Amino acid sequence: SASMAFAGGNGISKLRYATYAAAALAHLMLTAGDAVGVLAGDGRALVPPRTGGHHLHPVLLALRRLEAAGDPPLGAALD
């Protein structure tokens, strides 16, 4: 959502913090052999889940391209 653009005194937005955490978890999960994917707040799959270290790059690219905007229908996305 647009509120993810909020940045505290250090200038790093909530969205950037979230993407840093997601990137770290993706790395750990792929190392453990688990499948990782990226799903946008509006329910669009940006990167389908896959396994293997080679899959980290597309995940990181998708996370970097995320933008804070709008008011996504989270209820519908979760359904």
Q: How far apart are CA 49 and CA 38, in angstroms?
A: 7
* pLDDT tens for the 79 residues of the chain, in order: 788 899 988 899 999 999 999 999 999 999 999 999 998 877 676 899 999 999 999 999 999 999 888 776 667 666 6
Handedness of CA 21, 23, 29, 34 (dihedral sign): positive
Long-range Cβ contacts of 14-17 (<8 Å, 24+ apart): 14/68, 15/66, 15/67, 15/68
Predicted pLDDT of residue 79: 67
